[in-house]
Structures are given as C-alpha cells and as structure tokens.
C-alpha cells in the first residue's frame, strides 16, 4: 500500500534486462528461501495490490517445514506478478566452493527454475550475501543479474552492471521510516 500511495512501480528482472527506461520510482521486491509465509501472507497481498515480486528459489528447501510446496510455487509462477529466479540451495558460502562445486550448484538451480517455469532464469541470489571475485565472475557469466543482501547501498542503474546488485533486507519489524529512507536512496 505504501509503495502504491507514493507512486512506486514494481518491476521484475525481465523488465530490468530489456534495456527499456524504467519508471522514475521503480522498485523490485524479492523474497529468498521460499518460506511458507510468502504464499500464506505475501501472495494474497501481492495479488490484492497487483504488486510484482521475484522469488529466489532454493530447490532443496521446497516442501520442508515452514517452506512453500512446489505446487504453491507453480501457482505463483503462473501469474504475471511473480518471477521465479535461481538461488543457492545451500547456505555454503561461495567463497569456499571450488569452481566445479559452484558450477554444479548453479547449473542445478538454473535447471530447476527452467523446468518449473519453462523459462531460463536471468537472476541469481548469492548465498547469505557472501561473494568473492571468482564466484562473482562465474555467476555473472551465467546470469544477467546477481544479487546479494546488503545495507551498503541500493542498485544504481546509471553505474552498476548487474553482476552485483545490492538489496536491502526488509523484515516485519523494519520501521516504515527505515523502509521509506531506503526507498529514497534507490536510483
């Protein structure tokens, strides 16, 4: 409701990658981990307000306790409001993986999203926000956008290339004033 009341437009990774001009107040909403409240709480709100969102999927977590099921994910993915993208299926830090291990994990995540949605993912969420140069370079060669959690700064379309997009982490307890401040910093 806050986003709509303040003139923000939600976008998906595909809209960002098309090279078109984005609306002045574009924002991308993302969810990691496919927790059950994404389906039970966020999904009805997204539909009610016609808000777009991106789900970064960890295949091994689907159907586990407090996680969405594959059927729920497919339901959401069939909507124009939801983009399903790839993520690590482990909390292993990328910094500690060999190139072969990293390639295996990335290929598995890409394959899962492609099979589920019929579309190759163009975005990837780094595990727990950790990234070293070798992993960043490899992931950037596989995806148009790679994201990590951070409070450093938001993505700046005028100078960032998409290989390392910073995201702010918003939780239920995040005060509206903080949320509003972070939105004001987006470019």
pLDDT of residue 16: 79
CA angle 46, 115, 62 (to 5 degrees): 55
CB distance 124 to 87 below 8 Å: yes
Buried b (16+ CB within 10 A) or exposed e, 160-175: eebbbbbbbeeeeeee
Of residues 129 and 143, the one with the higher pLDDT is 143
Q: Indicate whether 70 pLDDT > 60.
A: yes
pLDDT of residue 54: 95
Residue 66, phi-psi category: left (phi > 0), alpha (psi -120 to 50), beta (remainder) = left
Determine the average pLDDT of the residues in 25-39: 87
CA torsion sign, 113 to 100 to 161 to 92?
A: positive
pTM for the full predicted model: 0.86
HSE (side-chain half, CA atoms, 13 Å) at 155: 20
pLDDT of residue 48: 96
Query: pLDDT tier at 111 (50, 70, 90 boundaries)?
Result: very high
pLDDT of residue 90: 61
Query: pLDDT tier at 150 (50, 70, 90 boundaries)?
Result: low
Distance, in Å, from the CA atom of 177 to the CA atom of 32, rounded to the nearest integer, reads: 23
Alpha helices in 57-174 (DSSP H): 70-77, 99-117, 133-142
């Amino acid at each position: 409701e806050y986003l709509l009341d303040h003139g923000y437009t939600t976008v998906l990774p595909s809209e960002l990658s098309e090279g078109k001009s984005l609306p002045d107040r574009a924002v991308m909403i993302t969810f990691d981990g496919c927790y059950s409240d994404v389906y039970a709480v966020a999904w009805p709100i997204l539909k009610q307000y016609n808000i777009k969102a991106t789900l970064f999927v960890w295949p091994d977590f689907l159907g586990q306790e407090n996680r969405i099921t594959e059927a729920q994910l497919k339901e959401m993915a069939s909507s124009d409001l939801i983009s399903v993208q790839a993520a690590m299926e482990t909390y292993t830090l990328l910094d500690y993986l060999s190139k072969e291990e990293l390639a295996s994990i990335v290929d598995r995540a890409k394959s899962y999203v492609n099979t589920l949605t019929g579309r190759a993912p163009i975005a990837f969420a780094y595990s727990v926000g950790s990234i070293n140069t070798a992993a960043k370079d490899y992931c950037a060669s596989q995806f148009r956008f790679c994201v990590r959690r951070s409070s450093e700064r938001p993505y700046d379309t005028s100078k960032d290339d998409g290989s390392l997009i910073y995201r702010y982490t918003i939780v239920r307890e995040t005060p509206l004033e903080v949320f509003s401040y972070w939105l004001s910093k987006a470019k």
